[in-house]
Amino acid sequence: MTETYTALARKWRPRSFAELIGQDHVRRALVNALETGRVHHAFLFTGTRGVGKTTIARILAKCLNCETGVTPIPCGQCASCREIDAGRFVDLIEVDAASRTKVDDTRELLDNVQYAPTRGRYKVYLIDEVHMLSTHSFNALLKTLEEPPPHVKFLLATTDPQKLPVTVLSRCLQFNLKRIPLAQIAAHLRSILEKEGIGFEPAGLALVGQAADGSMRDGLSLLDQLIAFGGGRAGEAEARAMLGTVARDHVQQLVERLAKADAAELLRYAQALDEWAPDYAQVLDELASLLARIALKQVVKDFEGDDLYPAELLERLAGAIPAEDVQLYYQTAIVGRRDLALAPDPRTGFEMVLLRMVAFRPQAGAIAAPQAVQGGRPAGPDVVSGRSPGPVASARAAACSTASAASAADGVPVAGQGHGSQPGDQDWAAIVSALELQGAARQLAAHCVLVGREGAVVRLALDPRSKFMRTPAVEERLAQALAKYYGQPVRLEFTAVVPQADTPAQADQRASQEQAESARRAFESDPGVQGFRERFSATPLPETIRPVKS
């Protein structure tokens, strides 16, 4: 007769607090209560499936009924401990509330509460999925929870504590069990396989731990399945095939092509993935996971990677992709993962996510603008990228140049002409355009005029009417952007005077007004418009005339 196989989740179920994986906050509280003799009469254990709710309840029942006495370390050898482990201890009454929801079932259960335990020190009621009880059943239980006999302990477990009446919650000590981290699950699976003498690959265990989603029981069940699938071995290839995840080499290749920003090559490789019939949602999950590790490596230089992606690979990819691109790719991946169900089909949605990553990445010209110099000053983004400046930018630059010349004639220091000014400071409008600023910080910069710069000190003139724009947080963001632009730390000093030169905002406004005026003149001189005016005595409304944006 062949020996009956015991599932790993049952065989390796913790039998003491020392064997418990994770949940240290619960273990510490229960151990202290047992050591001091302050054991409450009702405990509520909450948390997602497979995190140890009923396991902790059974260990607590064993601690209360061990023949050596009430102890946080049960002997595991006495009759009570062995019977609790085997699930046949007469004074441990386990109830599945999902199948006994009627009030009659609850009353029948509680009829024997008043009687002393048969074998043990305490009569322990373990009610699993307690939230499934009906309202009448809760009412029947409530009276006993209020005034329980001294020999009775209630251990309640649920995955949905919000469904419990507050009257029940208020009479229990509640412990919220946390999801178990991936690293702890993988380490425990490794320990079990080493004891079982089963071959494995660390990357395969990492995939199983990731699929377990915080549940140790799910992780052990998946490990059982993987061993069967792999013919007695837990390898990475077998885990990916079983879980339906794409090989990490494919994800790495996608990131390599993202680093080159070659849309055609990226799409060709994405189309080649189709022969593997991947789950594109999982591919995006894997892609986002790798990008997150790359971002970590860029910020935390001693980040050592993990079993899936070693530190050497992350180091190379972190150097190949700019940090801002990594953040954009990650955000695009998780948003695309959410919207994948709205796509015409998963493959199309996946390809569009990759295209968005490349199409909307920051342009190299805008990033390199502070380093490019033309005519003794930093060139704006249009100069670096080779594009001709638009009409607004041209008008703004002309307005700033005119204002600077006029101010210089009046003896007023302006950008690049103040005492101690340094090369590269002449055109504040161009500097503002090159800064990586948004929102309130950009508005503050646009309403200032550069007075001058001496080393790390940047002096700005701000109209007192705009002083409300200054806040410590906004100034800090502007200072950081200027520090990045100049390549050294910057300290801002503001002068509350009316600037003699136009601010970038005023130059923009003037350029827009000039464009609007030019558009009005062009409209009124149009032969077709003049014909309408002569034939129908039509009168154009000036405020409705807008320049056409190219």
Do residues 434 and 370 make contact, with C-beta atoms less than 8 angstroms apart?
A: yes
Distance between CA atoms of residues 479 and 481, nearest Å = 5
Do residues 17 and 31 make contact, with C-beta atoms less than 8 angstroms apart?
A: yes
Show Cβ contacts of residue 44 under 8 Å, excluding neighbours closer than 6 positions.
Answer: 130, 156, 157, 158, 161, 164, 169, 172, 173, 174, 175
Asked whether the predicted pLDDT for residue 382 surpasses 60, the reply is no
Asked whether the predicted pLDDT for residue 28 surpasses 70, the reply is yes
Reported as a pLDDT band with limits 50, 70 and 90, residue 3 is: low
Structure tokens at 161: 């504590």
Percentage of the chain with pLDDT > 70? 86
For residue 455, the model assigns a pLDDT of 83
For residue 221, the model assigns a pLDDT of 93
Asked whether the predicted pLDDT for residue 202 surpasses 70, the reply is yes
47 against 529, higher pLDDT? 47
Show Cβ contacts of residue 272 under 8 Å, excluding neighbours closer than 6 positions.
Answer: none
DSSP 88-101: --TTEEEEETTT--
Distance between CA atoms of residues 546 and 544, nearest Å = 6
Structure tokens at 550: 């190219």
- Would you call 184 helix, strand, or coil by DSSP? helix
For residue 384, the model assigns a pLDDT of 34
Average pLDDT over the chain, rounded to whole?
81
| pLDDT tens digits for range 142-171 | 888 888 889 999 999 999 999 999 999 999
| pLDDT tens digits for range 168-199 | 999 999 999 998 988 899 999 999 999 999 99
Reported as a pLDDT band with limits 50, 70 and 90, residue 531 is: confident
For residue 549, the model assigns a pLDDT of 59
Reported as a pLDDT band with limits 50, 70 and 90, residue 416 is: very low
For residue 113, the model assigns a pLDDT of 86
Arithmetic mean of pLDDT, 340-369: 78
Arithmetic mean of pLDDT, 101-123: 83
| pLDDT tens digits for range 258-268 | 988 888 888 88
Reported as a pLDDT band with limits 50, 70 and 90, residue 134 is: confident
For residue 16, the model assigns a pLDDT of 92
Arithmetic mean of pLDDT, 84-93: 91
pTM of the model as a whole? 0.55
For residue 45, the model assigns a pLDDT of 95
Reported as a pLDDT band with limits 50, 70 and 90, residue 507 is: confident
Do residues 94 and 130 make contact, with C-beta atoms less than 8 angstroms apart?
A: no
Percentage of the chain with pLDDT > 90? 33
Reported as a pLDDT band with limits 50, 70 and 90, residue 548 is: low
Arithmetic mean of pLDDT, 203-222: 89
Reported as a pLDDT band with limits 50, 70 and 90, residue 508 is: confident
Q: For the chain, list the domains and their CATH numbers.
A: 8-176 (3.40.50.300), 182-243 (1.10.8.60), 248-359 (1.20.272.10), 374-507 (3.30.300.150)
For residue 71, the model assigns a pLDDT of 92
For residue 439, the model assigns a pLDDT of 85
Arithmetic mean of pLDDT, 308-337: 90
For residue 312, the model assigns a pLDDT of 85
For residue 363, the model assigns a pLDDT of 60
For residue 539, the model assigns a pLDDT of 76
Show Cβ contacts of residue 191 under 8 Å, excluding neighbours closer than 6 positions.
Answer: none
Closest CA to 269 of 253, 246, 247: 253
| pLDDT tens digits for range 435-493 | 888 888 888 888 888 888 888 899 898 878 888 888 888 898 899 999 888 888 889 99
